[in-house]
Amino acid sequence: MAFFSSSTRQVPPTAVVPQHVAVIMDGNGRWAKKRFLPRVAGHVKGVELVREMVRACLERGIQYLTLFAFSSENWRRPQDEVSLLMQLFVKALEQEVDKLDRNGVRLRIIGDLSRFEPRLQELIRQAETRTAGNTRLDLTIAANYGGRWDIMQATNQMLATQPEKRDGWQESDLEPHLSMSFAPEPDLFIRTGGEERISNFLLWQLAYTELYFTPVLWPDFDTAEFDKAITSFQQRERRFGRTSEQLVEKPNA
């Protein structure tokens, strides 16, 4: 296969739990609206569901959980909602990091953090440093994140550190500079809330991820719903371009 240049090579087993789950937590606003509550009530409930999801991943032995909390496009929302979301983010960092640390969770925040206020940036830095030695679960929160931004920043970083790449580069040259370079590509992508789109989440990394869309709104996405997504994943055959027969004979040839 002389022309095979994609970096997505390995065929991970599907019968087991996914190693890396990436989630677009959508539907908070609609959940609140249905109850005649302000949108922020949906976001508050949404934070509770993050806690439940982390617990579920720890129990199931899932190593990487990546959550989309705020997209680079979400700044377009009304100023009040944006500032409430920022307050919730600060509060969650102040209140949850201790417990995450005690449970062996390593926390990382990916995205363009320069747009956040200094207090939030400092809390992020502290949380990452404090949990840096933990290995039970890698929890990543994407905040002011965009998949296109990630590819652009990685390209700029690569060219700044290795100017000779200007004459030609490969996927493997870029990958160390992407925000998720520490993790394998997601095995399972979940989007709650009924929309079936990627909304500029992990564009590069989702190339061969199994996609799962559910109409369940994020504040209703409990452990039982999560298990349905995992079961759906376990029933799929991941071929990465190969045929079924090849997989039976030699999965990683």
Residue 24 contacts which entry, ligand IPE, Mg ion, none (Cβ below 5-8 A, type-dependent)? ligand IPE
CB atoms within 10 A of CB 245: 7
Rule CB under 6 A: which of 47-86 touch ligand IPE?
68-71, 73-74, 85
Which of 26, 138, 150, 187 is labelled catalytic? 26
Rounded least distance, CB 135 to Mg ion, Å: 33
Q: Catalytic: 200?
A: no
The window from 20-28, 32-40, 94-102, 104-112 that contacts Mg ion (CB under 5 A) reads: 20-28
Residue that the structure tokens 């500029």 belong to: 200
Among 11, 45, 193, 216, binds ligand IPE (CB under 6 A): 193
Q: Does 26 bind Mg ion (CB under 5 A)?
A: yes
Handedness of CA 237, 240, 244, 250 (dihedral sign): negative
Among residues 26 and 158, whose Cβ is nearest to ligand IPE? 26
Work out whether 146 is an interface residue with ligand IPE (CB under 6 A): no
Q: Does position 226 bind ligand IPE by CB under 6 A? A: no
Residues 111/145, Cβ–Cβ less than 8 Å: yes
Figure out which of the listed residues 12, 30, 88, 173 binds ligand IPE, where binding follows CB under 6 A. 30
Note whether 27 binds ligand IPE by CB under 6 A.
yes
Closest approach of Cβ 40 to ligand IPE, in Å?
Answer: 9
Asked if residue 201 binds Mg ion (CB under 5 A), the reply is no
Which residues lie near Mg ion (CB under 5 A)? 26
Which residues have a catalytic role annotated? 26, 74
In the complex, the residues that contact ligand IPE under the rule CB under 6 A are 24-30, 68-71, 73-74, 85, 193, 195, 197, 199
